[in-house]
Amino acid sequence: SAVISQKPSRDICQRGTSLTIQCQVDSQVTMMFWYRQQPGQSLTLIATANQGSEATYESGFVIDKFPISRPNLTFSTLTVSNMSPEDSSIYLCSVARQGDEQYFGPGTRLTVT
């Protein structure tokens, strides 16, 4: 497995502002992903963070709203831009090495007021 940390663990933000979430892994990983989990719901993949190139976004998610960076093999950021109350959710970073298994960070609980 991998030790994954996320910052911040939680935040309360005003409508219209932006928040950047950081994900740090204790060792190099091939794949990094960003998910959203809304209350009582399952996990929805936002995008795959690609090292050295633009992220690959899933249907319904766009770069202007959720810009992602991945400058190296151990670190990624997700920004939630121009937030609205509908963006209130838990945001999760996930990583995978060469194999299939994916591991999740502790998550960032975001509340937009």
Partner 1 sequence: QKEVEQNSGPLSVPEGAIASLNCTYSDRGSQSFFWYRQYSGKSPELIMSIYSNGDKEDGRFTAQLNKASQYVSLLIRDSQPSDSATYLCAVRPGYSTLTFGKGTMLLVSP
Q: Which residues bind partner 1 (CB under 8 A)?
A: 1, 33, 41-43, 45, 48, 58, 90, 92, 100-107
**C-beta of 14 vs 53, nearer to partner 1:** 53
Which residue reads 């497995």 in tokens? 1
**Closest approach of Cβ 29 to partner 1, in Å?**
14
Q: How far is the CB of 92 from partner 1 (least distance, A)?
A: 6
Which DSSP category does 53 fall into? S
- Residue with the two structure tokens 């794949």: 31
Nearest residue (CB) to partner 1, 9 versus 17: 9
Torsion of CA 75, 81, 83, 88, to 10 degrees: -20
Give the type of residue at 75.
F
